[in-house]
A = this chain, B = another copy of it.
Amino acid sequence: MVREHISTIFDIELDDLRQSILIMGGKVELMIANSVKSLVERDTALAERTIALDHEVNNAEVSIDERCLELLALRQPAARDLRFITIALKIVTDLERIGDQCANIAKRARELNEEPPLKPYIDIPRMAHWAEIMVKEALDAFVRGDADLAVKVCKDDSFVDDLNIQIQRELLTYMIEDPSTISRAMKLNYISKSLERVSDHATNVAEMVIFMVKGKDIRHTIA
């Protein structure tokens, strides 16, 4: 009975951990959407709010890390639970770095909003949309232990990579045709690469979920 009682408390603690990660994920998803929205709608106030939100994401990482250490020390989990907690430790680091990328995007957006727009933005919002879905699905896969969904996320990554290459190529054309666009084009190039990095982090999370569920490490094997 005592053992069962402990197990129930531990289950609640693990659920709390899942919830904290989803809340942190929600903030990160908002940062992805709003950093690019602040560019597309030339909304510098929104860029500022996005940059400010990064502090909350940083604090969430620190607090979830501490919680994981406490659970490891007090509950001494085995097998599946142990794997879940150690992967949670790694996942929050990825989420925190996505937050950093979004803050950087918002900073570039703030600068670009001071200049005339180079072109209508079509592919960058598409990239942001996909990256946001990838982060959301990677975290859903994590909390539900859904390896199939995680595999889908890994596959979606190539779509974002292709968009990034396409954007870079297009920006190169602008720069060659009109050197006065170079500074703005390089900032957009930076934003595109940052979104690609966001999707890389989502892929890292998804790969860890597959490892967690299947106990098999597929990192570094998916092309």
Interface residues of A (CB under 8 A from B): 55, 58-59, 61-62, 65-66, 68-69, 72-73, 76, 78-79, 82-83, 86, 89-90, 93, 168, 172, 175-176, 179, 182-183, 186, 189, 193, 204, 217, 219-220
Contacts and interface: CB of A to CB of B under 8 A. Distances in A.
Given A86-B68, A93-B93, A182 B186 contact: no
A204 to B, nearest CB: 8
A219 B58 contact: yes
A172 B93 CA distance: 33
A187 to B, nearest CB: 11
A172 to B, nearest CB: 6
Contacts of A204: 93
B83 A86 contact: no
A221 to B, nearest CB: 9
